[in-house]
Chains A and B, each alone.
Chain A
Amino acid sequence: MSNMVKLTINETAVEAPAGTLLIDAAKLAGIEIPAFCYYEGMSLQAACRMCLVEIEKAPKLMAACVVPVAEGMIVRTESPAVVKARKTTLEFLLTNHPLDCPVCDKGGECELQDMVFKYGAGESRFTEVKQHVPEKQWSPVVFYDGPRCILCYRCVRVCNEGMGVGALGIVNRGVAAEIAPSHGDHLECDECGSCIDICPVGALTSGAYRYKTRPWEMEHVGTICTHCSNGCKTTLGVRNNEIVRGNNRDRSGVNGEFLCVKGRYAFDFNHHPERLQTPLLRVNGKLEEVSWSRALQAVVEKFKAGGKAGVVGSTRIANEEAYLLQKFARTVLKTNNIDHHRSGDVVTLLDSLSGKTATLGTADDCYNAKAVLIVGADLSQQQPFLANQIRANHRHHKAGIYVATPGAVREDKIAKASARTADGNWLPAVESMAEKLKGEKELLVLFGDSVKGEGVRKLVAFGESLGIPVKYICLVDYANSRGAMDMGLLPDLGPGYHAVEGAPGLTLPQMMAATDLDLLWVVGANPLARHTLASSKAFVVVQDLFLTETAQRADVVLPAASAYEKNGTVTNVCGQVQRLKRGVETVGAKTDLNIIGLIARGMGVNLGKVDADAVFAEIQKTVRGYNVPLPVIVTGGAAQTMPVNGRVPSTVLPELIQSSRDTLFTTGTLTRYSKILNEVMEAPGGLYR
């Protein structure tokens, strides 16, 4: 490349693109320049003075985080002057920092500890009285211990620049300066906990995690969050078979280090006292606890008896479970009466884009697209990670953001143009931006559930009329909403969106309305929360974590494992296939895959080897787009973004597509059982819509 700059760092020749900051150039060359306040992707502070280095001809030590590389620059990062400066900076930092590491949550993974270990002095010369202020609680999940704070301003920046919320600022000056909420003594924000996560020391601690364990006593399990459809990788900290923390400090997965309030805290439903641990069987009209074998026997008997069956799948179970469920329904129960709660019209989108390549967007596209159009969705509430990608795109790449939504959304603040839509009629709002959009180089369109059926075709036609490359993301609700469709939990379409053999089956509302239904099998869903079951004779089998409205009507309730208790894969809103990894062992519950296998065995049916890897191997062969090597899936790199070839023979009525309109603090059943989420919901976070 012609715009490469040659410089020397520690007698090593280094090349870096012009404009690279010295601290990054050193990193490229494998040389660490320590820093607290410098944080990739955020505005520069030059406040901590840890990155001071010697640059030849400069009159004094320079902060490597604000100096761009220059041709012929000669830099020394380990000269005696630099080493001494670092040592004294750390010594200064420790003067008022309480040395309470043995009881500090951060102990063991504290950047200040690590720095002092590597660069600090062995002896403390400070003998004065330390500055002290009492600890403060700002929200159910955020605590601030001022004396531990080193004022790197990372939290202020991540909240303002990263989240677009700006709930934190600085008060007082000098040694009394401290971080403070913009609303006096409490936070009014997304409660995402990014400030806690990004804090290099133990100044900001989590109400969910504090004083629970030591970091080295946890097992760290990287899996996928089970709440919304964004598919954020979350690293669970597990101690004694209990999840005690969620974060993603290793920045693996599609989401980097981003997590929202649900990803970071709402794992606690997993250990809720109302979790079902024992199968339930209706005896004399009442649900009684029974053994697994007795409950399964009751299910097998009814399944063998046959009759008109209906199967409702889940938007949260793994791909393998959804695949096996529809296979069981279609080959054993011999019915196409299978459906799930649909929240986005992926089916019509795939059909409209039939034969075109590179038209389905990914989470990376949200960060890299030159322009983004949001139609009918409150991303910051429902798709927090995609919203974060778009904010970062605007911040780093100055992407043009266009918004057409019914109400005000956070993205309005960064939008080139925003228009309000009325009565679900989004087309005029979108068309009003046509001229501006034509001036962009490329476009990524994200649309919500108000765009469905013919609407999707109109939107794609609009996209084509712009004369620029356009990609689309059809927004859906839950962790595996997309996978449920890919796996064929649909009455008219099988795995990979192929037409089913025979006539299409009943849709979910049709099953509920059918008075002659003999059997209803609900796996991880709660249809009776919205519908009433018309058939009084139906034998209802429910697999779930909790005694939901549907489970209360059931004849057999089988306790199911959560996503954190199983292996498998899930597919996020953008079609990116990622791997679930078991973090905790179940006590009485079994995975849905296991339950389906046991029922099959009871019926004497051979569904092949029933384990996640074996079923996934079958999915790879049969479902288009899933034939990617396992290592790619493990790292979240796979993307089912190829539209099907030829038309999707859908008969589905678009009216059935309805988003749950979740907020940042809700995702259906699971979050009702999250203690922390219910606590923080009381905080008026709507302010930052």
Chain B
Amino acid sequence: MKLYNPPSPLETKVISKRFGVENSWRLDTYLATGGFEAFKKTMEMSPDQIIDEVKASSLRGRGGAGFPTGLKWSFVPKNVEGPTYIVVNGDESEPGTCKDRLLIEHDPYQMIEGILIAARAVGASKGWVYIRGEYRYLIDHLDSVLKEAYQRGYLGKNIAGTGFDFDLYSQTGAGAYECGEESALLESLEGKRGVPRIRPPFPAVSGAFQRPTVLNNVETFSSVPEIIKNGGKWYADLGTPKNGGTRMVCLAGHVNKPGVYEVPLGMNMMYFINEIGGGMWKGKKMKATIPGGSSCPILRADECDIPMDYDSMAKAGTMLGSGGMMVMDEDTDMVKIALRIMRFYKHESCGWCIPCREGTTWLQKMLARIVDGNGAMRDVDMVGDLAKSMLGRTFCPLGDAAAMPTISIVEKFRPEFEAYVARNPFANSELVQVG
């Protein structure tokens, strides 16, 4: 397993510390570097103590929504008849995001240990790692790791001699972005069409196969062993208040050193881009940045001097999301960015609800028309208006994910849209040219 980018000395390596170590994905390497110590420690702890420790770490979901993990685990009903399940969301499909694959490639046992600790905390007996269909190679890799774990007694019956039983399976997605949404993922896991469920009930109460289920992102589970080992407070102190720990940020775009870096929450975004990412390429100036995956509202260059944590991002009107940061230089065509993003969401809309299904399609067609030089002045207003018509009205957050970047791009870079439209001699005509 090669590393895609050299590490930066400015990183705080907590969950990526084994990256680059020889055979880091093998059990022996993991055991030699403190592996399964945390799991063994939890055998001395009560489930409530484990959950309290995770709560104390102020770990928040790394999939995008940032829901407090300990709180989520505490929602799972206790002493219920029948099984409780763990599901790992490895359907990493948010454009710009590529961290979960590295965690599974380089340090799969860390994730497995996190899963086992969660299983101890909620009394689960079985779990699935749901991996996006496009990560074909990763499934083979994970399967070989699971096989080794079973052979060496770190999965199955009586794990590591602790008397604790747990089964873990891998499950492939079929290439749908929608299946990264937790309830659609569960439908897909059950072999059904990947469309979201009506909530409530939430997965903690009725998830996979109608059983209570803990569903978290790969990075979330991977963060758990170090929290247990070093204590929740230690982890929380790495970040800022209510935004504990470190997180993997996938830096992409017009920077000198793109890559996946682990940084503490609350690091200044410009510092991160300039010092860890090596600054803008070719000496250009920054125009904008999408901070956390394509579904996040875009930030202008002058808005980027903020700490990277959930709350500061929210204050700036955007989200930390899934950690997929995309930096754009001064030459970037924002209208084409809007079109590219909308093309993705139009392609990925599952078709379940009307505003998302029809809205993404309409917006994609309209943006394509503007880019083709057939836009009209009223189209510029309509792009924002239609996106707002989707926002908050769709069945699941996919509609919001398509609407939010679009609304922000039109608002912040309106002159670029108007420049496109101005090339159309009929732009102000009542007769709109259909491309």
Check B392 against A60 for contact (C-beta < 8 Å).
yes
Interface string of B385-401 (1 = CB under 8 A from A): 01001001111000000
Q: Which of B87-95, B235-243, B352-360 lines the interface with chain A?
A: B352-360
For window 337-370 of B, CB contacts with A under 8 Å fall at: 346-355, 357-362, 365-366, 369
**A172 touching B351, Cβ below 8 Å:** yes
Chain B: interface residue total (CB-CB under 8 A) = 32
- The answer, yes or no, to whether B193 is at the interface (CB within 8 Å) is yes
A46 CA to B394 CA in the complex, in Å? Answer: 9
Complex-state Cα separation, A172 to B351, whole angstroms: 8
B367-390 Cβ-contact flags toward A at 8 Å (1 or 0): 001000000000000100010010
Cα of A85 to Cα of B193 in the assembled complex, Å: 28
Q: B residues within 8 A CB of A174?
A: 346-351, 357, 360-361
Once the chains are docked, how many angstroms separate the CA of A85 from the CA of B389?
Answer: 7
Q: What chain B residues lie within 8 Å of A609 (beta carbons)?
A: none
Query: How many angstroms between the C-alpha atoms of A125 and B363 in the bound complex?
Result: 12
Say yes or no: B395 contacts A49, CB within 8 Å.
yes
Surface stretch bound by B, among A92-100, A266-274, A412-420, A537-545: A92-100
Q: Which residues from chain B contact A85 at a C-beta distance below 8 Å? A: 389, 393
Taking CB atoms, residues of chain B closer than 8 Å to A69 are none
Q: Would you list which residues of chain A between 165 and 197 have a CB under 8 Å from chain B?
A: 169-170, 172-177
Chain A hits for B347, CB < 8 A: 174
**Interface locus among A126-134, A423-431, A595-603:** A126-134
Pair A44/B198 contact, Cβ less than 8 Å: yes
Q: Is the interface of A mostly helix, strand, loop or mixed?
A: loop
User: Does residue A390 face the partner (Cβ distance < 8 Å to B)?
Assistant: no
Secondary structure at the B interface, as helix, strand, loop or mixed, is helix
Residue of B nearest to A96 (CB): B358
Whether the Cβ atoms of A175 and B361 lie closer than 8 Å is: yes
A172 to chain B: which residues have CB within 8 Å?
A: 351
Q: Is the CB of A92 within 8 A of B389?
A: yes
Nearest opposing residue in chain A for B363, CB measure? A128
A48 at the interface (CB under 8 A from B): yes
Interface residues of A in 40-59 (CB under 8 A from B): 44-50, 52, 59
Which B residues touch A151, using CB under 8 A?
351-352, 354, 357
B314 adjacent to chain A (CB < 8 Å): no
B219, chain A: closest CB distance, angstroms: 27
Q: A60-B393, A85-B393, A96-B358 are in contact. Are A66 and B198 (CB under 8 A)?
A: yes
Q: Are B354 and A150 in contact (CB under 8 A)?
A: yes
A88 within 8 A of B: yes
Judged by a CB distance under 8 angstroms, whether B227 is at the interface is no
Q: Is the CB of B351 within 8 A of A88?
A: no
Q: Is A61 in contact with chain B by the CB < 8 A criterion?
A: yes
Residues of B within 8 A of A129 (CB): 365, 434
- Known pairs A151-B357, A174-B350, A175-B361; A89 contacts B393 (CB<8 A): yes
Given contacts A89-B393, A92-B389, contact A175 B358 (CB under 8 A): yes
B67 CB to nearest A CB, Å: 15
Given contacts A46-B198, A128-B366, A128-B434, contact A88 B346 (CB under 8 A): no
Rounded to whole angstroms, the CA-CA distance of A177 and B194 in the bound complex is 12
Q: Do A89 and B434 touch (CB < 8 A)?
A: no
A59 to B393, CA, bound (A): 11
In the bound complex, CA of A302 to CA of B136 (Å): 89
Chain A min CB distance to B431 (Å): 10
User: Which residues of the partner chain A approach B348 to less than 8 Å between Cβ atoms?
Assistant: 173-174
Between B346, B386, B432, the greatest number of chain A beta carbons within 10 A of the residue's beta carbon is seen for B386
Residue B176, interface by CB 8 Å: yes
Known pairs A46-B198, A127-B432; A175 contacts B349 (CB<8 A): yes
Q: Which chain A residue lies CB-closest to B396?
A: A46
Query: Which among B357, B362, B393 is the interface contact of A61 at CB below 8 angstroms?
Result: B393
**Residues of B close to A150: CB separation below 8 A:** 354
Residues of chain B lying within 8 A (CB to CB) of residue A66:
198
| CB-based nearest A residue for B386 | A88
What are 25 residue pairs bridging A and B, where the CB atoms are less than 8 Å apart in the complex?
A44-B198, A46-B198, A47-B395, A48-B354, A49-B353, A49-B355, A60-B393, A61-B392, A61-B393, A66-B198, A84-B389, A85-B389, A88-B389, A89-B355, A89-B393, A95-B361, A95-B362, A128-B434, A151-B354, A151-B357, A170-B351, A174-B361, A175-B351, A177-B351, A177-B357
Closest 6 CB pairs between A and B? Answer: A177-B351, A92-B358, A88-B389, A128-B365, A60-B392, A174-B349
Can you add 5 more A-B contacts, CB < 8 Å, to A47-B395, A127-B432?
A: A61-B393, A89-B355, A92-B355, A127-B434, A175-B358
